[in-house]
Amino acid sequence: MRAWLMNISLVDGWFPATLFSVTAVLAAILLGTAIWETVAGSRDGGKRTFAVVVCPVVIAIIAGIAGLVIAWLLSDVFVVFGVELGPHVVAWAGCGCAIIGFAICYAVPHRGVLRAVAVVLTVFAVLSAATGIDQAYGEYATIGSLLGQDTYREADLTGMAKRSDLISVTQWKQEKADGSVSNIPAHGEVRKVNIPATASHFEARKALVYLPPAALATAKHKPALPVILMMSGQPGSPGRVFAAGGIQTMMDDYAQHHGGLAPIVIAADQLGDDSHNTLCVDSPVYGNALTYLTKDVVDWVKANLPAAQQAQDWAIAGFSQGATCSLQIGANHPDLFGTIIPTGSEPKPTNGSESSMISRFFHGDRTAYEKQIPINAIRNHAPSNQTLVIGAGERDRESVRNVERIAPVAQQEGMHVTAVESLGNAHDWHAVRDTLRYGLVVFGYNTGLSDAKPKLADYPNLKRKIGRAHV
């Protein structure tokens, strides 16, 4: 029962459909009743008509406009949240405020059942607006993710694969053709693991690991699979990567079309806590996040999982703050990551004012801070043979501008760059999924998982900004 409850989808399926339908029915009941009361007779010399119909409608219009304006000001003018929220969020804010205003105003002159209906409508309007906004972002995919819980099983994957038992993807394909590989599952598995912070002592939360079907098949040898290290935004968690990012579904779909082969995905914790923005650096503020990601996580994966060992077989990806981290870490560590897939990146790591940040996180060393700015990191390690697939939601104008600034520099310094916009989306997980889906096929081609050259034309929701895939 608990697992069923935690897995109820908030972004599609019966729950949001029911929520929206009930809200619409309740609103229709009240509006229909108001109209009927008006038609039945204008009691009290018309005063009743005003109280029952005109006043709630006027209040609804005023509340709706107020909701729209306030959301727009917070989003597009003052950019309170650091990003533009997008028209879907603004529209839901206005719609929610309009219905709430109507319900509250309707409840005042009524008693009994009609007042009860108005109160219930208020609650459902709040829930519907919140769900609609969540759907726009794709942030909380299930009730479990909303409550910070998940249903992923913990597992000890230590020693799952010995390096001596690993063979190349090409060799594994040949063994599969020869009949030496059997019992390839239809789907991969996601497991929650504790990655020891041996070198960093960083207080990280448990990571999530996606193992594709090829890693779970019965065979004498396992393929040395490519790896994607992926990070959520802030606030966020490793669970958010899978719940909001739809990683398992995406990877399973890829594996289904490639004989069970897909990258291993590691959702590692770069934050330590939802409220922490570590800047993905080693600092006295939140600990050694950088060492944890680049040393502890990388070494553990290579030592315990059927993972490829070379930089060209590793990708680093992320959303928002995680995207900024993926850019700065990927560019600063071409020895670890051959591919970088950020979505909604900032132009530089940010936590407070620049002077305060340099003082707190970098011991006052401006040079150390400057090295973490993605453009500087790209230039400092040029020429680069890395692949960069960088994206942003079309309606996330700030992130689009960041893409337009970063991508040309990366291309100029030798990177194989594809910059894209996710059409109709903003600073949200929908844009992440669009970008990552294309980045996956580029990464899969470059690492030998697929022989098919990636074609951006096959992804109609993406618009090219600059460059072309490294093929």
Tokens for 262, please give them: 């897909």
- pLDDT value, residue 361: 97
Residues 293, 112: Cα–Cα separation, whole Å:
60
Strands 287-288 and 314-319: unpaired
H or E segment at 283?
strand 282-283
Task: Name the segment(s) of the chain with CATH classification 3.40.50.1820.
Answer: 152-467
What type of residue sits at position 3?
Answer: A
- SS3 of the chain: helix, strand, coil, percent, to 5: 50, 15, 35
What type of residue sits at position 425?
Answer: N
Q: Are 240 and 232 in contact (CB under 8 A)?
A: yes
Q: Are 403 and 391 in contact (CB under 8 A)?
A: yes
Under DSSP, the state recorded for 182 is B
Q: Which of 336, 231, 365 is nearest to 289 (CA)?
A: 231
Digit-coded pLDDT (tens) for 292-342:
999 999 999 999 999 999 999 999 999 999 999 999 999 999 999 999 999
| Beta-ladder partners of 227 | 264, 314
Residue carrying structure tokens 């669009």: 434
Superfamily of 152-467 according to CATH: Alpha/Beta hydrolase fold, catalytic domain (3.40.50.1820)
Residues 131, 159: Cα–Cα separation, whole Å:
42
Q: Tell if the pTM clears 0.75, that is, is over it.
A: yes
Residue ranges for the chain with pLDDT beneath 70: 38-53, 79, 82-83, 467-471
- pLDDT value, residue 243: 86
Q: Are 104 and 56 in contact (CB under 8 A)?
A: no
Instruction: Label residues 294-308 b or e (16+ Cβ within 10 Å = b).
Output: bbbbbebbeebbbbb
- pLDDT value, residue 145: 80
Query: From residue 80, how far is each of 73, 250, 353 by CA, in Å?
Result: 9, 32, 15
- pLDDT value, residue 21: 95
234: left (phi over 0), alpha (psi -120 to 50) or beta: beta
Helices (H), 305-428: 321-332, 354-361, 366-370, 374-380, 397-412
Digit-coded pLDDT (tens) for 48-79:
566 666 788 888 999 999 999 998 888 777 76
CA within 13 Å, CB half, 54 = 7
Question: How many helices (H) and strands (E) in the chain?
Answer: 19, 13
- pLDDT value, residue 385: 94
Q: Are 152 and 7 in contact (CB under 8 A)?
A: no
